Amino acid sequence: MDLKGIKLFVMDMDGTIHIGGELFEWTLPFLGYLKENGIKYVFLTNNSSKSAKDYQNMLEGMGIENPVVFTSGEATARYVKRNFPNKSVCIFGTENLIYVFKDFDIKIDKENPNLLVLGYDTTATYEKIRKFALHLRKGLPYIATHPDINCPSKEGLIPDAGSFIALFEKSTGRTPDFIVGKPNPQMLYEIAQAYSIDISEIAMVGDRLYTDIKMAIDAGALPILTLSGETNIEDVPEKLRERIIIVENIGEITKKLLDS
């Protein structure tokens, strides 16, 4: 549990750097400190329906300059590119997700694909569901970007990728062969690859034990739990408290870095 030697901070967003779109007062000073000291940071999201650019615009709107955003869609494209070279993919997902795959020169084929990728499809139609289910029945490799059952929205929780995974399981009996996004450590492995650094040089900062912190521990990154979001200190099992860094908010990390 040593902050010394950390070269990259991977930051969860909601509950960590902002709450409901309102940036915490300590976020910009903390990011400024990292920048001054040559420590990189990247923002992480499981949501594969939007593009990194959408999130960059959102973060810029909050006052963060030149933010870098890594989505589960990008992590999945990187994973597919490496593990299924020259294979064509049918994507159950938004146009944004398809663009991410095209950016990595991955061939898209809706009719006769070699493998199947499921993302959070906010543009799903019955025709798309029908086609994807029929492909699943052929036994093709099946990868999902992330497992979240619901996505928070202003009006309440709405079905996310995990709900579509459940729909396809009900119909075809199949579950994804592999899921890339949080809490799966693959998400962090892909970031380590993208930045050409060792996983031990990454700190994962987030407010959820069962996604952010679980992923950090399983991947071998430095887990930092912030209590500024949905987790209270009472929620943290006694044993776990010794294994992770816990801060009230990310502003406290600056002091810990100075002391390290």
Nearer to Mg ion, 121 or 207 (CB): 207
**Smallest separation (angstroms) from Mg ion to the CB of 50:** 16
The tokens for 168 are: 């396809």
The tokens for 182 are: 């949080």
Nearer to Mg ion, 148 or 207 (CB): 207
Nearer to Mg ion, 113 or 251 (CB): 251
**Smallest separation (angstroms) from Mg ion to the CB of 128:** 29
Nearer to Mg ion, 52 or 250 (CB): 250
**Smallest separation (angstroms) from Mg ion to the CB of 230:** 7
Q: Which residue is nearest to Mg ion (CB)?
A: 15
Contact at 8 Å (CB) between 13 and 71? Answer: no
Secondary structure (3-state) at 174: coil
DSSP assignment of 43-73: EEE---SS-HHHHHHHHHHTT-SS--EEEHH
> What residues line the site for Mg ion (CB under 5 A)?
12, 14-15, 207
**Smallest separation (angstroms) from Mg ion to the CB of 12:** 4
How many other CB atoms sit within 10 Å of the CB of residue 243?
11
Contact at 8 Å (CB) between 116 and 141? Answer: yes
Sign of CA dihedral 212, 117, 21, 58: positive
User: 145 φ, ψ to 5°?
Assistant: -70, -35
**Smallest separation (angstroms) from Mg ion to the CB of 212:** 7
Helical ranges in the chain per DSSP H: 27-36, 52-61, 72-83, 95-103, 126-137, 161-172, 186-195, 214-219, 238-241, 251-259
**Smallest separation (angstroms) from Mg ion to the CB of 213:** 11
Nearer to Mg ion, 15 or 113 (CB): 15
Nearer to Mg ion, 135 or 182 (CB): 182
